[in-house]
Amino acid sequence: MTDAPNMPADDAAAQQPQLRVLAQYVKDLSFENPGAPDTLRPGQATPAIDLGIDVQARAVGDDTYEVVLTVNAKATREETVVFIAELAYAGLFQLANVQDAEREPFLLIECPRLIFPFARRVLGDTTRDGNFPPLMLDPVDFAGLYRAQLAKRAAAVPGSEGGSNGNGDPAAAN
């Protein structure tokens, strides 16, 4: 047995797609509590929450991309707005050995999947600090969102198969 590296395995590993998180950060955060203090009285019904999630990706350098996960939450009780929370949580990612056809799924599925738990925590802390129970988001099926986005894109452009925005950069398609 020897400690010498196995060169063919190293070559194969070097060709595997690689994803590196360079940074993650709150890009934009807004919390509105317009009915306070009236909406904060005890004994009130649980508000209905309307939730929206979006993912955007853009190139910021060679093999470096910013992926922004945007979460919008609006809580209402009857006709009254209880709170509005908007979070844009971003990650800076470096991709290596990723083929052009695989880039968009990496950016719109894998990258948001990595930063989602951190965005969830920020949103939960923000709503808790607004004197509401923490808004704990359920896990998100980013692959399903991506497939829905491809279908929507294909329906919007007759004869399109999705996958690119027409300028050759699938990452900028969003």
DSSP for 55-79 reads: EEEEEEETTEEEEEEEEEEEEEETT
Residue numbers in the chain where pLDDT is lower than 70: 1-14, 158-174
**All residues at 6 or more sequence positions from 153 whose CB lies less than 8 Å from its CB, including other chains:** 160, 162, 173
How much is the pLDDT for 171?
43
Burial zone of 49 (CB within 10 Å; 0-12 exposed, 13-18 middle, 19+ buried): middle
The predicted model scores a pTM of 0.79
Q: Are the beta carbons of 34 and 81 closer than 8 angstroms?
A: yes
**Number of residues in the chain:** 174
How much is the pLDDT for 7?
52
How much is the pLDDT for 166?
39
Enumerate helices (H) and strands (E) in the chain, giving the number of each. 4, 4
Q: Are the beta carbons of 129 and 170 closer than 8 angstroms?
A: no
How much is the pLDDT for 101?
86
How much is the pLDDT for 91?
97
Beta bridge partners of 131: none
Alpha helices in 76-132 (DSSP H): 100-105, 111-129
User: The sheet that has 18-32: what strands, in order across it?
Assistant: 18-32, 80-96, 64-77, 48-61
How much is the pLDDT for 5?
53
Helix (H, G, I), strand (E, B) or coil at 126: helix
| Rounded CA separation 14/11 (Å) | 5
